[in-house]
């Protein structure tokens, strides 16, 4: 429920001020090039649908104070050269609350984005649904959710910016429902607004920083860096950088089935493109950064992979991409610092490639869920994926079990199995059992000379077989875990950068 607002909070940008800060300038540099979308005019009876005494007067005061007719401003602008639909909330207008007229404007903005194949950028600052319109206001969340889903199915990205405050249904739809969620420092973010949460609730839990820590948002971005950050995200996820209209919007059928599918989509308000586009090509595996010599024994392979001097994922990502932007969090309450996920501009050809990289630690359930989230998003946008495998295995402590490690690994296996966009995997270090295999592309996995892949760690295999410690090295040989063994067994396609 929206908190009432009687005045503008000092230091808080209005909707149009923020748009002006983000939008590219006009060709002559005199103003920001923002084009407001036309909006429908909904007629209300006096004091709105509930005849709430004083509602018309409150709207009039809000309009006089802000210069706006409603709590949201929608239009198009270029940010860093990429055109997008901007949805900017005006918190000074009745707390940025959502009413029926707000829903009308939001629906039109999403429809425009789909019709013109544009990304959507909600700049959210809202207290939630407008209580003066009762349940009719609350049901606007269903309208917004549907529009977001249709836009997602059309293969178009949604990048939300959480301002202060972002609470209630606005957070639960335009905010948390976006593909990438950025937040301004110190912003109040949470489903419960400040006036409806328990009196003893920890206020720190309702902040942008807390949402990032809990895996519900991707990053906190300083105001002075917001334009540059949004420009990078829009560039990376735009159709020009991707090179396709998105897998979800390009799947083709034939004959009567195609016509029936198109008719069904139209009748359900689905604006997905019916034109098939070229599928993205598989990204090439990165060149090896370490030794070019192959290991002589299985144990030699293990020692090389575990060496602190071996190049790690960050080095490979830095070499492969000219610039990149990270996503964070599994949207289920967790993060894993040992799994790096995001999108980057490939240094070789300039196109966007998504990446999910293990950083050498035991992967936590949140890491697997974040990687699955990344792969599904890339698939929907038609972006090829690079995965880097380097883990001794899945985390196996009690907390990992409580966080449903098995289900998280199963989720990633399923995401990789179902993906339509190309996935390329490079094994750059340890390949510890199923916890590593879940991130590997079947039929398109490569290895570096300083790596190994094993059904189980040699030490654990020897222990299970009740062999003495002195037989661990022989067990490593018996498991055939060297890169050249993996090629001979058909587990990997080849070894990059070896002599």
How confident is the model at residue 37, as a pLDDT? 97
Cis peptide before 169 (omega within 30 of 0): no
- CB-CB contact of 210 with 183 (8 Å): no
- The pTM (predicted TM-score) of the whole model is 0.90
How confident is the model at residue 482, as a pLDDT? 98
How confident is the model at residue 42, as a pLDDT? 83
User: The tokens 């490690």 sit on which residue?
Assistant: 405
- CB-CB contact of 495 with 285 (8 Å): no
Report the alpha-carbon distance of residue 69 to residue 76 in Å, rounded: 18
Report the alpha-carbon distance of residue 106 to residue 97 in Å, rounded: 12
How confident is the model at residue 184, as a pLDDT? 97
Helix axes 298-306, 472-479, angle to 10 degrees: 100
Q: Nearest-CA neighbor of 426 among 318, 278, 316, 330?
A: 316
How confident is the model at residue 365, as a pLDDT? 98
- CB-CB contact of 166 with 188 (8 Å): yes
- CB-CB contact of 336 with 395 (8 Å): no
How confident is the model at residue 9, as a pLDDT? 56
Using DSSP, state whether 249 is helix, strand or coil.
helix
Report the alpha-carbon distance of residue 174 to residue 177 in Å, rounded: 5
**Along the 499 residues of the chain, how does pLDDT read in single tens digits?**
444 443 445 558 999 999 999 999 877 676 678 999 998 888 889 999 999 999 999 999 999 999 999 999 999 999 999 999 999 999 999 999 999 999 999 999 999 999 999 999 999 999 999 999 999 999 999 999 999 999 999 999 999 999 999 999 999 999 999 999 999 999 999 998 888 889 888 999 999 999 999 999 999 999 999 999 999 999 999 876 665 444 443 333 223 333 333 334 433 444 434 344 567 889 999 999 999 999 999 999 999 999 999 999 999 999 999 999 999 999 999 999 999 999 999 999 999 999 999 999 999 999 999 999 999 999 999 999 999 999 999 999 999 999 999 999 999 999 999 999 999 999 999 999 999 999 999 999 999 999 999 999 999 999 999 999 999 999 999 999 999 999 999 999 999 987 6
Element spanning 346, H or E: strand 339-346
Beta bridge partner(s), residue 454: 432
Report the alpha-carbon distance of residue 128 to residue 95 in Å, rounded: 8
Report the alpha-carbon distance of residue 185 to residue 446 in Å, rounded: 41
**Eight-state DSSP code of residue 118:** -
Report the alpha-carbon distance of residue 234 to residue 334 in Å, rounded: 26
Q: Give 174's Cβ-side CA count (13 Å radius).
A: 39
- CB-CB contact of 157 with 119 (8 Å): yes
**Eight-state DSSP code of residue 494:** E
Token pair of 468 as six digits: 């003495």
- CB-CB contact of 373 with 413 (8 Å): no
Beta bridge partner(s), residue 424: 386
How confident is the model at residue 285, as a pLDDT? 95
How confident is the model at residue 32, as a pLDDT? 75
Contacts of 25 (CB under 8 A, 6+ apart): 31, 32, 33
Using DSSP, state whether 307 is helix, strand or coil.
coil
In the chain, the largest separation of any two C-alpha atoms, in whole Å, equals: 88
């Amino acid at each position: 429920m929206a908190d009432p607002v009687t005045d503008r909070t000092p230091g808080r940008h209005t909707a149009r001020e923020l748009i002006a800060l983000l939008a590219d300038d006009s060709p002559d540099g005199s103003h920001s090039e923002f084009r407001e979308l036309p909006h429908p005019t909904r007629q209300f009876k006096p004091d709105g649908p509930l005849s709430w005494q004083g509602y018309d007067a409150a709207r009039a005061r809000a309009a006089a104070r802000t210069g706006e007719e409603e709590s949201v401003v929608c239009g198009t602008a270029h940010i860093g050269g990429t055109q997008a639909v901007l949805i900017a909330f005006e918190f000074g207008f009745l707390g940025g609350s959502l009413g029926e007229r707000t829903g009308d404007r939001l629906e039109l903005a999403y429809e425009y984005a789909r019709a013109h194949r544009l990304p959507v950028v909600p700049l959210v600052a809202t207290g939630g649904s407008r209580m003066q319109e009762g349940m009719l206001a609350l049901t606007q969340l269903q309208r917004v959710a549907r529009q977001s889903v249709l836009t997602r199915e059309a293969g178009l990205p949604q990048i939300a910016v959480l301002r202060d405050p972002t609470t209630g249904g606005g957070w639960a739809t335009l905010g948390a429902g976006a593909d990438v969620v950025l937040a301004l420092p110190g912003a109040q973010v949470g489903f419960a607004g400040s006036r409806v949460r328990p009196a003893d609730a920890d206020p720190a839990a309702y902040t942008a920083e807390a949402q990032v820590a809990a895996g519900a948002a991707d990053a906190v971005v300083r105001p002075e860096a917001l334009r540059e950050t949004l420009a990078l995200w829009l560039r990376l996820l735009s159709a020009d950088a991707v090179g396709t209209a998105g897998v979800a919007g390009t799947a083709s059928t034939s004959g009567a089935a195609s016509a029936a599918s198109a008719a069904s989509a139209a009748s359900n308000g689905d604006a997905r493109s019916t034109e098939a586009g070229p599928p993205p090509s598989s990204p090439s595996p990165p060149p090896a950064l370490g030794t070019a010599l192959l290991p002589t024994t299985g144990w030699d392979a293990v020692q090389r992979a575990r060496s602190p001097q071996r190049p790690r994922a960050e080095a490979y990502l830095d070499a492969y991409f000219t610039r990149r932007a990270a996503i964070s969090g599994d949207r289920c309450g967790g993060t894993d610092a040992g799994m790096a996920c995001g999108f980057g501009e490939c240094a070789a050809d300039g196109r966007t490639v998504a990446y999910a990289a293990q950083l050498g630690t035991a992967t936590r359930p949140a890491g697997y869920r974040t990687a699955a989230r990344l792969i599904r998003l890339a698939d929907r946008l038609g972006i090829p994926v690079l995965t880097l495998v380097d883990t001794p295995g899945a985390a196996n402590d009690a907390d990992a079990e409580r966080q449903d490690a098995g289900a998280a690994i199963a989720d990633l296996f399923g995401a990789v199995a179902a993906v339509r966009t190309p996935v390329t995997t490079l094994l750059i270090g340890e390949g510890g059992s199923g916890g590593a295999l879940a991130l590997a592309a079947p039929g398109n996995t490569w290895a570096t000379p300083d790596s190994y892949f094993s059904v189980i760690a040699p030490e654990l295999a020897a222990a299970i077989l009740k062999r003495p410690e002195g037989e661990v090295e022989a067990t490593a040989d018996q498991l055939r875990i060297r890169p050249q063994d993996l090629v001979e067994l058909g587990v990997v396609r080849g070894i990059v950068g070896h002599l």
